[in-house]
Chain A
Amino acid sequence: MDFWLDVTAMALMVSTSWIIAIRYILSGIKWLSFQSFMLSLLTAVLAIETGRTDLFVIAAITLAVKAIAIPYILYRTLKAVGIDRQAEKSFGRDRLIIAVLAMWAIGYYVTPDLGLGSGHNLYLSISIGMLLSGVLIMITHNKALMQGVGLIVIENSLFLAALSTSFGMPFLVDIGIFLDVLVVVVLIAALSFRMDELLSSMSIEKLRRLKG
């Protein structure tokens, strides 16, 4: 079972690193869907290992909401504004990859050794690295939809952090968070569509024009 945990964790790292450097928004959404799918897989593996039923439910909801519903909503919005939109990044691809590597390094560096003899909690390191990379996505990407993608990455990282330290948050809290994330994504989708209509661009820098 540890093998599958490691595989899914690796997949999370790869997908996160790749989302920051994509060229088309569409591939960003696809990789996000892949990442969420891997996360639900990880949850399921953990559920089998620990035998907790609530984790199975969480895994199923993750699959349904994060891997299917949210990417679908984003995809619909992208289709409405034009499927071939490119992501607009503030820095070049090479620098962003280096930055992400630095985020993983920082994530590893800051994770405390709990002194249990088991060394680092590698999953916590990965989750912190993902968190920072998610913020990095929001900072470097200009398009409103990619901001949404970055937000989901941050959310995924927090989910992973909760899983790795205490096998998930209380059930109700998780459900609440799923609902919140769904609402936020719907809002982002709707606002991105309106922005594109009004400003003929999804670039959030254009929002400055609205200032009085």
Chain B
Amino acid sequence: MVLAHVSTIHPIYFLSGLTLRNHYVLMYISYNIIIYNDLEMADVQRIVHVSINLATVAFSVGILFLGWSGLEHPTLLFAHPLFSDIFSTSFFTLNLATVPLSSVFLMTLGVLGVLSAIYGIGYGEVYRARFEGAWLDVGVFLFIAAMAVVFLAGNAFTFLFGWEMMSFVSYLLVVYESERPEVNMAGVLYLAMTQIGTVFLILAFYLLHQFTGSYDFAVFVHLARTLSPVLQSVIFLFTFVGFALKAGIMPLHIWLPRAHPAAPSHVSALMSGIMLKTALYGLLLVNLYWLSPTVWWGVLFIVLGGSSAVLGAFHATQETDIKRILAYSSIENMGLLFMVVGISIAAFALREWTIAGVALCATIYQAMNHAAFKSLLFHAAGSMIHGTHERSLNFLGGLLRRMPYTSIAMAVGLLSVAAVPPFNGFMSEWLVFLASADLARTNLHNVVGLFAAIALFALLFTGALVALMAARIFGVGFQGEGRSPGARAAHEAPFAMRLSLLMGALYALLLGLFPAFIVNALQLTLPEPLRFSPVHLWYTGNLFAISKLPFILLFLLVGGGFFVFLLLRLFIGKEQRHIAPTWTCGGERMAFMSYSATGFSQPVARTFRSLMIPVARGYMYRPAWDFVLKTAQYFRRIQNGSVRSYLVYLFVTVIVLLIVVR
């Protein structure tokens, strides 16, 4: 009995020794427990599961503090050449350092890591029945570590190493539930797309190395601006394609709505919340901190970002799978971020330092906010799926009564994503709005102003669609009656998940409540010329006035609504209510007769039917696939299966070689 236990836990025991030291100790303890107390197998699994997740929490807290200290004091943590005796090249040097920009992302990663690991303690219970449940926890830990490497990277090798590790581990996590057929397809697509992206990144780093003679980011900061403008544009294009693939910008997004719903929910939260931000981080680093941007880069960012924001929001209103909705919402938010980066780059190129600074500040702030509320939303969605075993909004409903904690978390997340004032989505979008409006105002005579104005309208339009999406999720999913047995028998999530949800909601709220503090901190991350003093924000002479803004606007919103209500009451009078049974053609009233999610989105679908052009599928992937097939046909003509043609190839090769070698 005892022996059997020891041998079956062995793989995990071995693995833990490989990955983390403190976990090793925990494992050692549990190992002893098995021997002396003869625990049941399930208990051992539970201990393994919880201890790995607690180690992840500890690791994430470490990352959080690393980011905290790196914000003011850029530090070199580690620099050591690998295999120096085998390769004489300086390429293989592991170099970990913090810069202020990466510190912000590191802190976000730390917070998200803590939330997801705590959530994973509860959520992993489902998977613990399979012993591979522990692999999920190890995977999440490695995923967080890989992303930390990306943010900490101080040279090209470390960055690409972390990037590839992140892609590969996230692929493994995406295909974790591989018994579902669509998951494998999503995983393969994701892996293929992310590898294509990496090719472009390698090309960009190669060019940077070729013309600066170094792989170090610290050298790029000084030397990259001296490269010729054409070369800089080429590097920009490579990084743009490579990072946009990872960020899920519209023509390159096809993997995202498949991969994110396929993964377990806390992995989706990490992927959507922070993995997409690694792409943003890379783009900011290369194009704003190293190269000197040109206006057309910004225009490209605005056009692609704006279209993905609008289309992503539109698709988010159309889908019914809750996690697919959130995935499209991530595309929308990444589009928004790209749009602001575009504003910042255009302003940078036009030497409008303050606007560029505000836009960049807004970008980072919005990235933090998106990480906060999107991870919260994915966690809440995971809790819904956990409690009801349903993924489609059409089969949910009435969860407000049965899952109060999840509902609160979801409500906070949805209010944030819809940018309602006291919550965190609002302040950053307000800064975005401000920067675009400023750029449009100062470039009225210029074509760039037009693009800034387009960004402004895209922002407003997106906001409206996102509000609809939020109302749809909450209205259909949480109110009314349950539309399926699963939804009617829903149960609240276990304690760890509830804890994570409430912490996430609190985090989202805190980010929204103290904008002045955050904007001040973000000042540290901006490049020197872009730092702005609060007086430059034209609507206020004082940065701390920003903090009052959410409350003022909230007051206006609530007060305005109340005022309208009063006016209606005054002029129309008290509303007349007749309570009567619903007429159901004589049949019995059933839950699925109520307004469904598909029905809810019909008005938008009808109005914007023209937006539903399959651009990516019809004009990019289908022709590319056809091209591959056609090329394969040509190859087939060579590879025709006739022995004699193979002999001919051999014959010609031999003769040519004989003549050449002579």
Do B651 and A135 touch across chains, with their CB atoms under 8 A apart?
yes
Q: Bin the interface of chain B by size.
A: 10 to 19
Does B658 touch A at the CB level, under 8 Å? yes
How many chain A residues touch B (CB < 8 A): the figure is 15
How far is it, in angstroms, between the C-alpha of A132 and the C-alpha of B652 when the chains are bound?
10
Report B658 CB to chain A, min CB distance, Å. 4
CB proximity of A208 to chain B, nearest CB, Å:
6
Assess the B659–A110 pair: CB atoms within 8 A. yes
Q: Mark A154-197, 1 if CB is under 8 A from B, else 0.
A: 00000000000000000000000000000000000000000000
Question: Residues of A contacting B654 with CB < 8 Å?
Answer: 132, 135
Distance of A184 from chain B, by nearest CB (Å): 14
For residue A142, which residue of chain B has the nearest CB?
B644
A136 within 8 A of B: yes
Tell me whether A145 is interfacial, beta carbon within 8 Å: no
**In the bound complex, do residue A109 and residue B659 qualify as a contact, i.e. CB atoms below 8 Å apart?**
yes
Q: Is A205 an interface residue (CB 8 A)?
A: yes
Contact B651 A136 (CB under 8 A): yes
Q: Verify if B655 is at the interface (C-beta below 8 Å from A).
A: yes
Cβ contacts under 8 Å, A83 to chain B: none
Looking across the interface, which residue of chain B has its beta carbon closest to that of A211?
B641
With a cutoff of 8 Å between Cβ atoms, the chain B residues found around residue A138 in the complex are 644, 647
Contact (Cβ within 8 A) B651 A208: no
A109 to B650, CA, bound (A): 19
Chain A CB within 8 A of B648 CB? yes
Interface pair B647/A208, CB less than 8 Å apart:
no
B643 within 8 A of A: yes
* Interface contact tally, CB-CB below 8 A: 33
Query: Contact: B651 with A132, CB < 8 Å?
Result: yes
Q: Name the CB-closest residue of A to B651.
A: A135
Question: Once bound together, how far apart are the Cα atoms of A136 and B655, in whole Å?
Answer: 12
Which of A109, A112, A132, A204 is the one whose CB lies under 8 Å from B644?
A: A204
C-alpha gap A56/B648 in the complex (Å): 37
Is the C-beta of B80 less than 8 angstroms from some C-beta in chain A? Answer: no
| Residue among B641, B658, B661 facing the most chain A CB atoms (10 A cut-off) | B658
How far is A205 from B643 in the complex, measured between Cα atoms in Å?
9
B662 in the interface (beta carbon within 8 A): yes
- Report how far A4 CA is from B286 CA in the complex, Å: 80
A 62-81 binary contact with B (CB < 8 Å = 1; else 0):
00000000000000000000
Residues in B whose Cβ lies below 8 Å from that of A109: 659, 662
In the assembled complex, which residues on chain B have CB atoms less than 8 Å from the CB atom of A98?
none
The verdict on A199 contacting chain B, using a C-beta distance below 8 Å, is no
Query: B642 contacts the other chain (Cβ, under 8 Å)?
Result: yes
Given A135-B647, A139-B647, A139-B651, does the pair A208, B662 have CB atoms closer than 8 Å? no
Report B637 CB to chain A, min CB distance, Å: 14
Inter-chain contacts of B648 with A (CB < 8 A): 139
Q: Is the interface of B mostly helix, strand, loop or mixed?
A: helix
A106 close to B (CB within 8 Å): yes
Q: Across the interface, do B643 and A204 meet the contact criterion of CB distance under 8 Å?
A: yes
Q: Is the CB of A132 within 8 A of B655?
A: yes
Using known A-B contacts A135-B647, A135-B650, determine if residue A106 contacts B641 with beta carbons closer than 8 Å: no
B658:A110 contact, CB within 8 angstroms:
yes
Say yes or no: B641 contacts A208, CB within 8 Å: yes
A208 touches B655 (CB 8 A): no
A109 to B641, CA, bound (A): 33
Cα A132 to Cα B651 in complex, Å, equals 7
Question: What residues of B have a CB within 8 angstroms of the CB of A110 in the complex?
Answer: 658-659, 661-662
Interface flags, B534-558, vs A, CB<8A=1, else 0: 0000000000000000000000000
What is the bound-complex CA distance between A147 and B647, given in angstroms?
Answer: 11
A211 and B661 alpha carbons, distance in the complex (Å)? 38
Q: Which residues of A contact B641 (CB under 8 A)?
A: 208, 211
Binary CB contact string for chain B from 626 to 662 against chain A (1 if under 8 A, 0 otherwise): 0000000000000001111001101100110011011
Give every chain A residue within 8 A of B647 (Cβ-Cβ): 135, 138-139
Question: B643, A106: Cβ atoms under 8 Å?
Answer: no
A139 to B647, CA, bound (A): 6
Q: Which residues of B contact A106 (CB under 8 A)?
A: 655, 658-659
A43 to chain B, nearest CB (A): 26
Q: Which residue of A is nearest B640, CB measured?
A: A208
Contact of A205 among B642, B658, B661 (CB under 8 A): B642
Identify which of residues 117-148 in chain A touch chain B, using a CB-to-CB cut-off of 8 Å. 128, 132, 135-136, 138-139, 147
Chain A residue numbers with a CB within 8 Å of B661 are 110
Distance in angstroms between the alpha carbons of A139 and B643 in the assembled complex? 8
A110 to B656, CA, bound (A): 10
Other than the given A106-B658, A110-B661, 16 more pairs (CB < 8 A) read A106-B655, A106-B659, A109-B659, A110-B659, A110-B662, A112-B662, A132-B654, A135-B650, A135-B651, A138-B644, A139-B648, A204-B642, A204-B643, A204-B644, A205-B642, A208-B641
Query: Which are the 4 A-B pairs with shortest beta-carbon distances?
Result: A110-B658, A135-B651, A139-B647, A110-B662
Interface residues of chain A, those whose CB is within 8 Å of chain B, are 106, 109-110, 112, 128, 132, 135-136, 138-139, 147, 204-205, 208, 211
Offer 28 A-B interface pairs, CB within 8 angstroms, sorted by A.
Answer: A106-B655, A106-B658, A106-B659, A109-B662, A110-B659, A110-B661, A110-B662, A112-B662, A132-B651, A132-B654, A132-B655, A135-B647, A135-B650, A135-B651, A135-B654, A136-B651, A138-B644, A138-B647, A139-B644, A139-B647, A139-B648, A139-B651, A147-B643, A204-B643, A204-B644, A205-B642, A208-B641, A208-B642
